[in-house]
Amino acid sequence: MLGSVRWNLVIGGIGMLLTFLVSLEKNGFAISSLRGLYAFIALFLIGFLFRAVLSLIVVGSPARATETSSAGLGGQVDAVTPDEGEDLNELLKSQLEGSLEPDGSEENAFKPIEPKRLVSTQNKNPEELAKALRHLSEEGK
């Protein structure tokens, strides 16, 4: 478990003091003391539970924690990335030579989109525009 019993004692003591002071306003000294004692016991036990859950989250399961610490496993990761130096050099050489792809094929080369040309309404006969507008407004009905 993380920490020590002192944490539980401090949490329980603070809870007991707050409960005693709040309860003292409306109850007598004996009842307030009894409620403070109950608060101390409850918070002391909740502190143990909280520390146990926190230790499981931080350390992991207790059995697994003792296994890894005794065997020394899991403390180091051996990760190696493959060497891609030659592939990179070939790609750079092919770009310097002017081809777009490393293997020389241009079928996958970049081609910009060529959208259809939009028809402009400038220099059109106003009567034709009015007819087209009437036709479109009649279709909508």
Q: Digits of tens for pLDDT over the chain (141 positions)? A: 577 888 889 999 999 999 999 998 888 999 999 999 999 999 999 988 988 888 888 877 655 555 555 566 667 777 888 787 888 888 888 888 875 544 555 667 778 888 777 677 677 788 888 888 888 888 776
Q: Give the pLDDT of residue 132.
A: 85
pLDDT of residue 84: 79
* Residue 15: per-residue pLDDT: 92
d(CA 141, CA 131): 16
Distances (CA, A) of 118 to 95, 115, 121, 124: 37, 9, 10, 14
Q: What is the pLDDT of residue 43?
A: 93
The predicted structure's pLDDT at residue 122? 74
